[in-house]
Amino acid sequence: MAITRRQVIVGGLAAGAVASLPLVGRRARARTPCKLVMVLNYGGWDTTYSIDPKPGLPLIDVAEGTERRFGNIPIWSHPSRPNVDRFFERWAPRTTMVHGVQVRSFVHTDCIKRVLTGSPSETAPDLGAMAAFELAPDLPVPYLALGSQARSGPLASITGRAGTSNQLVALVDPEAAYAQPGGLIPDQGLIPTGQEQDLVAAFIAAGTARLRATRGQRGYNKRRIDDFAQSIERADRLARFVRDGASLGARDYTPQLEVQIPLAVQALRDGLSQAALLQSSYSWDTHSGNNQQSMFHDGLFGSLDTLCAELESADLLDQTLVVVMSEMGRTPKLNGQQGKDHWPVTSCFMLGASVPGDRVLGGTNDELGARSVDLETGELDSAGTQLQAANLAAGILSTVGVDASGYLPGTSALTLTP
Amino acid sequence: MSRRWVLRRVAADERNEVAVREQLVDVHLRFFGEEHTAMDPEITEAWTLWSGALEESDDPRRAWSITLYALMQDVRMATY
């Protein structure tokens, strides 16, 4: 039986995951494929400012506010954060909240691996890369990485990084990317004729075949050579995508969510990408001055409202899962600098696609520790299990239509869609 | 030719195979860090490309553009 490149990659990842993640359980069920947008808040958000209200508890310091319920979802509300309320007024009926996610570390670099990939592996691809590779590897840029923390691992060849100013545009459409002072027309670059392109393709194929025969007959080298060859084909596909009239958006400062959102929505709508990772630019790691979290939350939820509204107006929200997460939480108590330090339990929420709204899965206790859950239902269950980042990752993969068992073997998926 | 950075060994209208092969040897060293002789298979592949492109356009400048365009997409760029 022939072994495909995908089987090799998935098998390699699976072997690594088996060795490092002893979470035994049932296989995750794949569902109807859908798109994936992850919004990462890197640095560690303080969930008590919005999505995990903890009023009147001696062991948890919280900002001023009141608990407000939006259907079944309690939110910590304050006039200084109007966008939080506004978001849930509109989107709570579609939102699933997930609390008590164990990230098993106090270190940013370890936590980010776990929440984005479900694995402690240095080389595992993140959820966006997995989803894009499995569901739409033939798109021009299957996985659009608009945030710096995206982890493509061995799936780098299907990942496009827009750079800090959406330099992808400049690569394929110089006229759109640069101003034209004095009527100068930017160099369009070399556009080969069909015959010339055939000559070029034959040359590249010959060089690739020679390298494959000498240094890349199997294993890592073979996969990297295959990746390179496919990248060349994908670059042509991307150029054709633009020549056919589609756009990669404008040159702008992509670290800002306001810039990332239209790029991502357009990429999903126009068939450029299957998955995207967005990342807010706030300095969430508030070891001092934790009250900055208030402003960050307000800004974030304003942007999220825009994201969901744009996806909905593009008729994409029903076929796109939006996941909002941070790699860790913050300590219950303030430190001496009025900041909060790292905490190995966090929350996330999601909406869109087939995920039910108006519900809360999991929970945290009066010390901001994770409460045990029944992974089949997400309901609190003292006889259940601690919700690990791997369980959540497997649940997300399954929800977007990827068989998570290939990437996270033996991991029980949190059931997000009944 | 003194202001050129890449194609220093050929005139703009050069069509002679020996001269073009020598230039291709030089480009392989500069692009890929590989030493070749003019008749090595790698240089012959590049010559085939260059001469094919010349046949298509009848323009040595265009043939070099196409050749450099291909060389910069060669997998050796990634393994340099």
Rounded to an integer, what is the distance from CA A346 to the centroid of its chain? 16
Domain end residue (candidates: A222, A248, A274): A248
A227 found inside a domain? yes
Do residue B66 and residue A200 have CB atoms under 8 angstroms apart?
Answer: yes
Both A35 and A77 in one domain: the answer is: yes
Give domain status of residue A226, yes or no. Answer: yes
Cα A416 to Cα A347: distance, rounded to the nearest angstrom:
14
SS3 at position A16: helix
Q: What is the pLDDT of residue A253?
A: 78
Same domain, A147 and A113: yes
Question: What's the half-sphere exposure (Cβ side, CA atoms, 13 Å) at A332?
Answer: 16
Cβ-defined contact of B66 to A210 (cutoff 8 Å): no
Print the domain residue range for A127: 5-165+251-406
Alpha helices in A244-340 (DSSP H): 257-269, 292-313
Check: CB of residue A97 under 8 Å from CB of residue A73.
yes
- Gap between the Cα atoms of A270 and A317, Å rounded: 14
CA angle at B64 for the pair B63 and B70, rounded to the nearest 5°: 95
The answer to whether the Cβ–Cβ distance between B41 and A210 falls below 8 Å is yes
CATH code assigned at A291: 3.40.720
Task: Note whether A117 and A157 are same-domain residues.
Answer: yes
Cβ-Cβ contacts under 8 Å between A and B: the total is 52
Phi (first) and psi of residue A350, to 5 degrees: -150, 155
Whether A417 is in a domain gets the answer no
For residues A111 and A236, state if they share a domain.
no
- Angle among Cα A42, A77, A296 to the nearest 5 degrees reads 25
Contacts of A224 in chain B (CB under 8 A): 78
Test B49 with A199 for CB contact under 8 angstroms.
Answer: yes
Indicate if A22 and A77 belong to the same structural domain. yes
Contact B75 A202 (CB under 8 A): no
Query: Residue A69 corresponds to which tokens in the numbers above?
Result: 């319920």
Domain ranges of chain B: 17-79
Distance (Å, rounded) from C-alpha A61 to C-alpha A46?
Answer: 11
At residue B1, does pLDDT exceed 60? no
Quick one: A238 and A268 in the same domain?
no
The ipTM assigned to this model is 0.95
Task: Choose among B52, B69, B76: nearest Cβ to A207.
Answer: B76
Q: Is residue A328 part of a domain?
A: yes
Same domain membership, residue A142 and residue A280? yes
Whether residues A15 and A161 share a domain: the answer is yes
User: In the prediction, which pLDDT does B25 show?
Assistant: 98
Q: Is residue A187 part of a domain?
A: no
pLDDT per position as a tens digit, B37-54: 999 999 999 999 999 999
List, for residues A277-307, the tens digit of each pLDDT value: 999 999 999 999 999 999 999 999 999 999 9
The number of folded domains in chain A is 2
Same domain, A159 and A270: yes
Q: What's the gap between Cα B33 and its chain centre?
A: 14
Give the C-alpha separation, A267 to A143, whole Å.
10
Query: Residues 194-233, chain A: which have Cβ within 8 Å of B?
Result: 195-196, 199-200, 202-204, 206-208, 210-211, 215, 224-225, 228-229, 232
* Together in a domain, A368 and A385: yes
Residue with tokens 């999601």: A350
Is the CB of residue A60 less than 8 Å from the CB of residue A323? no
Domain contains A26: yes
Q: Which of A397, A309, A314 is nearest to A33 (CA)?
A: A397
**CA–CA distance, B76 with A229 (Å, rounded to integer):** 11
Residue type present at position B75: V
Distance CA A379, CA A350 (A): 16
- pLDDT tens by residue, A304-357: 999 999 999 999 999 999 999 999 999 999 999 999 999 999 999 999 998 999
Residues A20 and A124 occupy one common structural domain: yes
Q: Is A185 part of any domain?
A: no
Tens digit of each residue's pLDDT (9 = 90 or more) over B3-28: 788 999 999 999 999 999 999 999 99
Whether A414 is in a domain gets the answer no
Which residues of A are less than 8 Å from B75 in CB distance?
204, 207-208, 211, 225, 228-229
Whether A29 and A54 map to the same domain: the answer is yes
Tell me which of B40, B47, B58, B73 to substitute to probe the interface with A (most A C-beta atoms closer than 10 Å): B73
pLDDT of residue A229: 86
Q: Which two tokens stand for residue A217?
A: 């007959």
Contact A126, A40 (CB under 8 A): no
Alpha helices in B1-80 (DSSP H): 17-32, 41-57, 60-71, 76-79
**Cross-strand pairs, A352:** A321
